[in-house]
Amino acid sequence: MSSISDGLKDIISKASLSARGSSLSRIRKNALSEPAAKWVAQSRIGCEVGHALSIVLATPGCTHARGGKGGCTMCSYILDGASQKVSAENLIQQFKHAMTSLEGLSGPISVKVYTSGSFLDPEEVPLEARVEILRVIAEDERIHQVVLESRPEFVTDEVAEFVRKSLGDKELEFAIGLESSDDRIRSLCINKGFSLSEFETALKNAADHDIGTRAYVLVKPPFLTERDALLDSVQTIIEVAKMGATTISVNPVNVQKHTLVERMWSRGHYRPPWLWTVTEILRRTRNQVSLDVNIVCDPVAAGKTRGAHNCGKCDDTFVKAIRKFSLDQISEHFEGLDCGCKREWNHALEHEDLAQIIHSLRFRIP
C-alpha cells in the first residue's frame, strides 16, 4: 500500500480508537453461565424453511477490537462481551443454556454460534470449549446446518479439517465478515485489518473440507456516498459468489455506540443506508448470482434513525419485503414498493458529495 494510504489507514485507526474512548473499561460484568444473547427465528435452511438458533457467547471479545488498532469503524460488539476472565467451562455452560431454547422444536434447525469475535480464535474460545460445543451439536440430529463465525486468519486447513471431522456430514458454513471485496474500502473505510487474499485463503481452506463460506457484506461503510456504497455492495456480492461463497449475508450499517460511525453520525456526517438502497442491492444481485447461493438480509434497527431507513412511512413495508426475500429468494417482493421518498433517495444517489463528507471530518493528515 502506498504511503498516502498508510497515512490514511493510520488516521482511521486512531480515529476508531479515539471513538471507543474508555468504553472498554465500562463493560458490565455478565453472568458467565449465560450467553450475551440468544434468539430463535424462522430461517431458510438449504431449500427448506426451519428454525435458527443464534447464540452470542460472552467471551473476552474480538482480538482485532481489543488490540491497539481500534477495531472496525462500525462495530462495538466487544461491549457485549465479558470484562472478566472466561473459562472453557463458562463457555460450555453458556452454550448449553442457549440450547435449551430448542426444546420442543423439530428439525430442520440451524445453529449459529457467534462470539462478538471469532469462535475459531483459541484465545477467545479455548480448544476444550470448542471440542465440547461441537460434540453437543454433532449429537443433535435435528440440527442440519451449523454456522460458526470467525475472522479469516483463524480458518486454517487444520482447523477446517478438525471442525469437519467433529460435525460429520452436517451442512456447515464459516461466517466471515469480508464487508467489501475492495481492499481500499475494507482497509480505509472499515479498518478491517485483513486483505481479500486472506479471505480467499480461508474460503479455500473451508471448501477443501466441504465447508461453505457465509460472507458478510456491509452496506454503506463510512466515507462512501450512497451511490458508491450501493455499487460496492453489488460488486462485492457478485465477486464473492464467483469466489465460491455459499451464502451472502447483506448487512446495512447500524450505528453502534462508541464507534467512529457513531461519532460521525452524531455530528450529522453519516446517514445509515436507505432501505431503497438495500432492496436495490438485493434485487440487482439476485438476478446476477446463481440461485445456489443464498442472499439473505436481516437489517438491524431497520426503520430507526440508527439503522437503514427511509422516510418512516414506508419502512415497515420494505423490511417485510426484505424478510420475505431472505426466506424464499424471490425478488418480485420488491416490485411495487413505492413511496414519495423515492425522489429524495434518487437525489441522494445523484448528488451526495464525497468531498463534503471528508471535509466535514476535519481530519488532519500528518
Nearer to Zn ion, 201 or 317 (CB): 317
What H or E segment, with its residue span, contains residue 52?
strand 48-56
Smallest gap from residue 66 Cβ to ligand SF4 (A): 9
Query: Is there a contact between 51 and 105 (Cβ–Cβ < 8 Å)?
Result: yes
192-221 burial, b at 16+ Cβ within 10 Å, e below that, comes to bbbebebbbbbbebbbeeebbbbbbbbbbb
Query: Per CB under 5 A, does 147 bind Zn ion?
Result: no
Q: Which of 303, 280, 269 is nearest to 232 (CA)?
A: 280
Cell numbers found for residue 239: 465477486
Q: Which does 341 bind (CB under 5 to 8 A by kind): ligand SF4, Zn ion, none?
A: Zn ion
Binding residues for ligand SF4 (CB under 6 A): 62, 64-65, 71-72, 75, 77, 116-117, 151, 177
Measured torsion, CA atoms of residues 149, 155, 160, 162, in degrees rounded to the nearest 10: -90
Dist CA 113 CA 149 (whole Å):
6
Smallest gap from residue 279 Cβ to ligand SF4 (A): 24
Q: Which does 72 bind (CB under 5 to 8 A by kind): ligand SF4, Zn ion, none?
A: ligand SF4
Smallest gap from residue 333 Cβ to Zn ion (A): 17
Nearer to ligand SF4, 297 or 314 (CB): 297
Smallest gap from residue 170 Cβ to ligand SF4 (A): 24
Query: Per CB under 5 A, does 339 bind Zn ion?
Result: yes
Residue 48, strand partner residues? 45
Query: Per CB under 5 A, does 233 bind Zn ion?
Result: no
Helices (H), the chain: 3-20, 63-66, 88-99, 127-139, 157-167, 183-184, 196-207, 226-243, 260-266, 275-286, 315-328, 342-351, 354-361
Query: Is there a contact between 173 and 213 (Cβ–Cβ < 8 Å)?
Result: yes
Candidates 10-18, 79-87, 151-159, 307-315: pick the segment binding Zn ion (CB under 5 A). Answer: 307-315
Q: Which does 71 bind (CB under 5 to 8 A by kind): Zn ion, ligand SF4, none?
A: ligand SF4
Smallest gap from residue 231 Cβ to Zn ion (A): 22
Size of the site for Zn ion (CB under 5 A): 6
Query: Is there a contact between 245 and 238 (Cβ–Cβ < 8 Å)?
Result: no
Q: Which does 311 bind (CB under 5 to 8 A by kind): ligand SF4, Zn ion, none?
A: Zn ion
Nearer to ligand SF4, 108 or 177 (CB): 177
Question: Footprint of Zn ion on this chain (CB under 5 A)?
Answer: 310-311, 313-314, 339, 341
